[in-house]
Chain A
Amino acid sequence: MTGEYRLADGGRIDRDRPVRFRFDGHDYEGCAGDTLASALLANGVHQVGTSIRYGRPRGIAAAGPEEPNALVQIEEPFPEPMLTATTVELRDGLVASGLPGQGRLATEPDPARYDAINAHCDVLVVGAGPAGLAAARSAARSGARVIVADADTEFGGSLLGTRDELDQAPAWRWIDRVTSELQASPDVTVLPRTTVFGCYDDNYLVAVEHRGEDAFTRQRAWHIRAREIVLATGSHERPLVFPGNDRPGTMLASSARTYLHRYGVLPGRRAVVFTTNDSAYAAAVDLHDAGVEIAAVVDVRPVATTVWTARCVERGIRILTNCAVTGTSGADRVSGAQVSSLPSGDAAPAELDCDLLLVSGGWNPAVHLHSQARGTVRYSEELGALVPDRTPRGVRTVGAAAGTFTTAECLRAGSEAGSDAAREAGFHADVAEVPGSPSGPVTPPQPIWLLPGLSADSDDEQFVDLARDATVADVRKAVGAGMSSVEHIKRFTTIGTAHDQGKTSGLLSSGVIAELLGVEVAEVGATTFRPPYAPVAFAALAGRDRGDLYDPIRVTAMHDWHLEQDCPFENVGQWKRPWYYPQPGEDMESAVLRECHAVRTGVGMQDVSTLGKIDVQGPDAAEFLDLVYTNKMSTLRVGRIRYGVMCHADGMVFDDGTVMRTGEHRYLVSTTSGGAAGVLEWLEDWLQTEWPHLRVHLTSVTEQWATIALAGPRSREVLARVTSDIDLTNDAFPFMSWTDGTVAGSGARVCRISFSGELAFEINVPWWHGRQVWEALHRAGSEFGITPYGTETMHVLRAEKGFPIVGQDTDGTVTPHDLGMGWAVSKKKDDFLGMRSFSREDTARSDRKHLVGLLPPAGSAVVPEGTQLVDSTELPAPPVPMLGHITSSYRSAALDRPFALALVKSGRDRIGQTIYGHVGDELVPVEITEPVFYDKEGNRRDG
């Protein structure tokens, strides 16, 4: 026998497959099919943990995801924090412990795999209780693609926890028949153990499937786009607020019934049942028949329903109408309930001994997904619950989730909704037949939020949210402070913000607030239902998009060569670019100084393949480029290259690069590495929406060309060793021109472009030949001491020449004139993007920030990039007038000193002045200079 509270037979567990587990250091045995909660109850364990604020003992209060109390930490098979014992499937070797209201994250990495799957369907049915199964069957029979998902390990929903009959046979027979039919349908996907936790725009739903510890992937996130949705998400029983309502042994009445019928477990020996509605009578009767002594059914209503009264009388169960439980006793477990007549205080309460206190305050339809789908809800006085009101197109909410509480009605509504959904999705669908289900007359529930006549002293023992340890006293404090909005009170009291997101406490708090404010519950309303419906592990959301797969990584054709040099990489957008190539014993600074020196005195090579390249073709290409560049591109001759600046219409620089004219109607435009996609999108925008008459086509060719920069006074000699069909003399191949030829056996387009000021060539070859040509150049350069260099050296060399980097020396508030690049702004064009803005008052003023050079004292440290610049040797009281900030700052090998570029207010008018950089607690003097530090005359570019 697996536990002294386990019945000899009954339930859907497998007594022949015992499961050993450990909880709080004790070894127990359960059965296959148990949850951790049912196995604990079978062993007589009610208390699972303690409460988060007051450390009060707390037990198992429910049998599903609405559980507010029974939080456990899983230790084996893998550490996992804060799960509810009611949703943990029992497995052999499970080790768990109870929690004091919150868990702790595992410190070791998760060895399991998580995955994601995208799915499309015509009809998604959420929930496989009577309504959901009926809906799925109707929809499936039409031939529609159907997905039916349910959080539980098996289908059946509420029917699993009852002994209801369908067609005069146990309900599970019908469940099995429908489930088999669905499984056999080729267009139906059956997903047990799958919680649909979020419903987003246009019927996009996300679910998490728990595939088990032994599965290839432990959990799988389903991203489902459904044409039509049927929400059959059921309902949650609501607890009651009364003093001492948190003692272990206090349990939702229907949950006790579920433990009995589904797991063959008696949750106690002697029970008091406290209710506001008919549903708890079934629990009283069923538990009695299974051997539990029912001390009394305490009903707040003046009259009980005849049929239930008769069944109780038959069994000798006492019914106390117009009464309430007004207190409990017991240490770690309830041992007695005080029962008073209503209004309380009329007579001395009677004390009833019990080890189980079942409560039912009514039923809350699970309108979470309905609400997330932008369905509205309204408060139903009749049911004492929030029920769906308006439902958006493409969504149907049925069954208990819609406030329908008889099985017969749920089946009928489900079947109709399933066929309606299939029809809306374009299928010919009939309403599938449903089995017969007995139903009897029901006496309306009498929702009660606060028991009358209790002294205020008891407020702090009346729990509204067990998970947050929030009481009536907390709500009273909030209301007393002047709050009346349920959203404010939620945030003040934290009610509804725990792992269960208020499944049991949400509406309860609205009811209590309404009582305290003296208004209707409908007026108070409820807080917003947000995803996720149930807690989801971040690992499941991340799936495989973690580590190296978190974001795409783009690498160049020469990447493996760089890896072999063991160089650190800089992330530029999604690109990996070599940062510098350290030799043994070198730090970054010494490596960069060496690389810079090599380029200035010998020859260096850099992989610049990542620069964006856009092929611009068409009869109107020249006219188009004249509109998007500040300078004129139509006058560029075929075979020549021009540097260009792009501005947005507001006149601010947003990208730059070279433009090669490769034909009468064809240009190759280069962009910054990180800006390529944005530039293409922007060019397409103007082309498609403003100038559709221009016959121009754009193609990204970034990954078609591998590009190698060969820079330094010896670069021509190196290139000459690997090419024989290009005349490399200045006359034949001048600066800012390009030519086609053969380099190291590969067809190549070679440009005379320099970003360092030195004689330089940019060699473009088909991507496939990138590494081969790179290595050939490296070999050819060995006798000249050719030095590979990375982005850092490139930055230093260009800064020495005063070349700005868009996005580093600019920030979207900088015009070409601010950069000192008025020469790149045409005065001959009628219009180009940005032109009109240059005459705006703000853009034209003379005290804008200019890009200038800065020289800290020779021998001093590099002043950090981002350093704020001020005019005085001592900081005045805030607000301190700022002159600008340093945008680029390095140590120069050529100058043998630190230097910087900065944006400084009226900077060009201050050249020669000393200003101060605020570094730590110090003000460091810096002299403003021209931005060009090296070879101002440009003598070096031709070698």
Chain B
Amino acid sequence: MMLIPCPWCGPRNETEFHYGGQADVSYPADPQAVSDVDWARFLFFRANTKGIFTERWNHQAGCRRWFTVRRDTTTNEIFHDDSHEAVTR
């Protein structure tokens, strides 16, 4: 049971959260200008990192905040030294 740091609520049990997958996959500024290949890459391709991974979580059973953490996928250690901007992608 991981302890996940919600920016609003503080550390809470993993069961309160919903996983949001890889972070920093931005919606293209003008999707119509993107090639089919790049669009497919945006839609369907995600990293499957062994090690430190930047990922999104949603505090679904709490404040509904979406946020980003860095987690080591081999140990589930979450790095608290992050100073991610308040608005995360």
A783 in the interface (beta carbon within 8 A): no
A836 close to B39 (CB less than 8 A): yes
**CB-contact partner of A689 in B18, B39, B76, B88, under 8 A:** B88
A677 close to B66 (CB less than 8 A): no
B9 in the interface (beta carbon within 8 A): no
Q: Mark B25-65, 1 if CB is under 8 A from A, else 0.
A: 01100111010100110111000000000001010100011
Given A201-B76, A681-B64, CB of A690 within 8 Å of CB of B89: yes
A688 close to B32 (CB less than 8 A): no
Smallest CB-CB separation from B29: which chain A residue? A831
**CB-contact partner of B2 in A201, A831, A841, under 8 A:** A201
A543 to chain B, nearest CB (A): 15
Most chain B CB neighbours (cut-off 10 Å) among A680, A689, A831: A689
B39 close to A681 (CB less than 8 A): no
A204 in the interface (beta carbon within 8 A): yes
**CB-contact partner of A685 in B3, B39, B66, B87, under 8 A:** B66
Q: Cα distance A692–B27 when bound, in Å? A: 13
Smallest CB-CB separation from A393: which chain B residue? B77
Given A202-B1, A681-B18, CB of A688 within 8 Å of CB of B56: no
A202 close to B31 (CB less than 8 A): no
Q: Which residues from chain B contact A688 at a C-beta distance below 8 Å? A: 65-66, 87-88
B75 in the interface (beta carbon within 8 A): yes
Given A201-B1, A649-B43, A681-B58, CB of A831 within 8 Å of CB of B32: yes
Given A831-B31, A836-B31, CB of A202 within 8 Å of CB of B60: no
B59 to chain A, nearest CB (A): 10
A685 close to B40 (CB less than 8 A): no
A689 close to B87 (CB less than 8 A): yes
- The residues in A between 829 and 886 inclusive whose CB is less than 8 angstroms from any CB of B are 830-831, 835-837, 840-841
Q: Which residues from chain B contact A837 at a C-beta distance below 8 Å? A: 39, 43
**CB-contact partner of B60 in A374, A681, A692, under 8 A:** A681
A200 in the interface (beta carbon within 8 A): yes
**CB-contact partner of B58 in A374, A392, A685, under 8 A:** A685
Q: Which residues from chain B contact A835 at a C-beta distance below 8 Å? A: 31-32
Q: Which residues from chain A contact B34 at a C-beta distance below 8 Å? A: 836
**CB-contact partner of A202 in B2, B18, B65, under 8 A:** B2
**CB-contact partner of B64 in A200, A392, A650, A684, under 8 A:** A684
B56 close to A689 (CB less than 8 A): yes
B67 to chain A, nearest CB (A): 9
Q: Which residues from chain A contact B27 at a C-beta distance below 8 Å? A: 649, 690
Given A831-B31, A837-B43, CB of A684 within 8 Å of CB of B1: no
Q: Mark A213-245, 1 if CB is under 8 A from B, else 0.
A: 000000000010100000000000000000000
Q: Mark B74-89, 1 if CB is under 8 A from A, else 0.
A: 0110000000000111
A677 close to B87 (CB less than 8 A): no
Given A681-B58, A684-B64, CB of A374 within 8 Å of CB of B43: no
Q: Cα distance A841–B39 when bound, in Å? A: 12
B85 to chain A, nearest CB (A): 10
B43 close to A650 (CB less than 8 A): yes
Q: Cα distance A649–B42 when bound, in Å? A: 9
- The residues in A between 399 and 438 inclusive whose CB is less than 8 angstroms from any CB of B are none
- The residues in A between 785 and 842 inclusive whose CB is less than 8 angstroms from any CB of B are 830-831, 835-837, 840-841
Most chain A CB neighbours (cut-off 10 Å) among B1, B39, B42: B1
Most chain B CB neighbours (cut-off 10 Å) among A202, A204, A681: A202
Q: Which residues from chain A contact B44 at a C-beta distance below 8 Å? A: 650
Given A649-B27, A831-B31, CB of A841 within 8 Å of CB of B36: yes
Q: Cα distance A837–B28 when bound, in Å? A: 13
Q: Cα distance A677–B60 when bound, in Å? A: 9
A840 close to B58 (CB less than 8 A): no
A680 close to B66 (CB less than 8 A): no
Q: Which residues from chain B contact A201 at a C-beta distance below 8 Å? A: 1-3, 14, 76
A202 close to B3 (CB less than 8 A): yes
Given A680-B64, A685-B58, A690-B27, CB of A836 within 8 Å of CB of B89: no
Smallest CB-CB separation from B3: which chain A residue? A202
Given A201-B3, A201-B76, A681-B64, CB of A840 within 8 Å of CB of B39: yes
Q: Cα distance A571–B20 when bound, in Å? A: 27
Q: Which residues from chain B contact A649 at a C-beta distance below 8 Å? A: 27, 42-43
Q: Cα distance A831–B27 when bound, in Å? A: 12
Q: Mark A617-656, 1 if CB is under 8 A from B, else 0.
A: 0000000000000000000000000000000011000000
Q: Which residues from chain A contact B39 at a C-beta distance below 8 Å? A: 836-837, 840
Q: Which residues from chain A contact B65 at a C-beta distance below 8 Å? A: 688
- The residues in A between 663 and 690 inclusive whose CB is less than 8 angstroms from any CB of B are 677, 680-681, 684-685, 688-690
Q: Cα distance A841–B79 when bound, in Å? A: 41
Q: Which residues from chain A contact B64 at a C-beta distance below 8 Å? A: 680-681, 684
B75 to chain A, nearest CB (A): 6
Q: Cα distance A577–B36 when bound, in Å? A: 43
Q: Cα distance A292–B85 when bound, in Å? A: 74
Q: Cα distance A681–B26 when bound, in Å? A: 18
**CB-contact partner of A836 in B32, B66, B76, under 8 A:** B32
Q: Cα distance A225–B10 when bound, in Å? A: 15
Q: Cα distance A204–B26 when bound, in Å? A: 34
Q: Cα distance A684–B42 when bound, in Å? A: 20
Smallest CB-CB separation from A684: which chain B residue? B64
Q: Cα distance A650–B75 when bound, in Å? A: 33
Q: Cα distance A328–B44 when bound, in Å? A: 66
Given A202-B1, A202-B76, A204-B1, CB of A690 within 8 Å of CB of B32: no
Q: Mark A689-714, 1 if CB is under 8 A from B, else 0.
A: 11010000000000000000000000
Q: Cα distance A830–B33 when bound, in Å? A: 11
Most chain B CB neighbours (cut-off 10 Å) among A677, A684, A688: A688
Q: Which residues from chain B contact A225 at a C-beta distance below 8 Å? A: 1, 3, 13
Smallest CB-CB separation from A687: which chain B residue? B66
Q: Cα distance A202–B56 when bound, in Å? A: 19
Q: Cα distance A837–B34 when bound, in Å? A: 11
Q: Which residues from chain B contact A200 at a C-beta distance below 8 Å? A: 1
Given A202-B2, A690-B27, A831-B31, CB of A685 within 8 Å of CB of B76: no
Given A202-B3, A685-B20, A837-B43, CB of A690 within 8 Å of CB of B31: no
Q: Which residues from chain A contact B66 at a C-beta distance below 8 Å? A: 684-685, 688-689
- The residues in A between 184 and 220 inclusive whose CB is less than 8 angstroms from any CB of B are 200-202, 204
Q: Cα distance A134–B31 when bound, in Å? A: 65
Smallest CB-CB separation from A691: which chain B residue? B27
A94 to chain B, nearest CB (A): 36
A718 to chain B, nearest CB (A): 40
Q: Which residues from chain A contact B40 at a C-beta distance below 8 Å? A: 840
Q: Cα distance A649–B31 when bound, in Å? A: 10
**3 closest residue pairs by CB, A with B:** A836-B31, A204-B1, A202-B3
What would be 16 A-B contacts, judged by CB atoms less than 8 Å apart?
A201-B1, A202-B3, A204-B13, A225-B3, A374-B75, A649-B42, A681-B64, A684-B58, A684-B66, A685-B20, A685-B58, A689-B66, A836-B32, A837-B39, A837-B43, A840-B39
Q: B-side interface residues toward A, CB under 8 Å?
A: 1-3, 13-14, 18, 20, 26-27, 30-32, 34, 36, 39-40, 42-44, 56, 58, 60, 64-66, 75-76, 87-89
Known: A201-B1, A690-B26, A831-B32. 18 other contacts (CB 8 A): A200-B1, A202-B76, A392-B75, A649-B42, A650-B44, A681-B18, A681-B58, A681-B60, A684-B58, A684-B66, A685-B58, A688-B87, A689-B89, A692-B87, A830-B32, A835-B32, A836-B31, A841-B36
Q: A-side interface residues toward B, CB under 8 Å?
A: 200-202, 204, 223, 225, 374, 392, 649-650, 677, 680-681, 684-685, 688-690, 692, 830-831, 835-837, 840-841
